[in-house]
Homo-oligomer: A and B are copies of this chain.
């Protein structure tokens, strides 16, 4: 098997790459052992990612890391496989890139902080920082106001078909649906419809299935 993916489904970047692998209908080997940090600090893994972090990916002689670089590689290199997530047209690709950058530079930071406070924090027994939540809810509301206008114009962020720009939002959006932040999505009809549709994609459901044992074991501990 040519593609080796080092990562875990419960991490936001790990889930992002897995969603892409499933969308592209690619066969791959999921290497889970690298999750232990001592493994990722060893020479063999550092030759894939010198920062010693998962996720990372090997495809034959190619060794790459950073989730959004991996999804872009898979979408471009395997353009003919599975669902089309990018475009070969420069202008169409520029729109996709723009909204990928919006996710990366605007949405991700704010949404990840909320997920960290409201999902990961309580799971590890941490008290929620109400001020951080309030501040980031306010920021997210403003971002989603712009998304609402955009999604009124086109069904997906970068146009009429599902692309990496939409896909990159899935992992953290999924976690936020179990928190009060869900209301910010519900209140905006076009954002709400977009959110519901992309979270229901077959490929994304496969990632959620991979996450299930982890959350089941957490529930068992509580």
Contact = CB atoms under 8 A, between A and B. Distances in A.
Contacts of A97: 64, 66, 68-69, 72-73
A69 B94 CA distance: 6
B98 A64 contact: yes
A154 interface: no
Contact of A66 (B50, B90, B105): B105
A51 interface: yes
B95 A51 contact: no
A69 B51 contact: no
B98 A65 contact: yes
Looking at chain A's contact residues, is the secondary structure mostly helix, strand, loop, or mixed? helix
B94 A77 contact: yes
A104 interface: yes
For the complex formed by this chain, how many copies does it contain in all? 2
Contacts of A62: 91, 94-95
A216 interface: no
A30 interface: no
A98 B66 contact: yes
Contacts of A76: 90, 93
Interface string A26-54: 00000000000000000000000011000
A200 interface: no
Contacts of A90: 73, 76-77
Given A62-B95, A77-B90, 18 more contacts: A51-B102, A51-B146, A59-B91, A64-B95, A64-B98, A65-B98, A68-B101, A69-B94, A69-B98, A69-B100, A69-B101, A70-B94, A72-B97, A73-B90, A73-B97, A77-B94, A104-B104, A104-B105
5 contacts: A64-B94, A66-B98, A69-B98, A73-B94, A77-B91
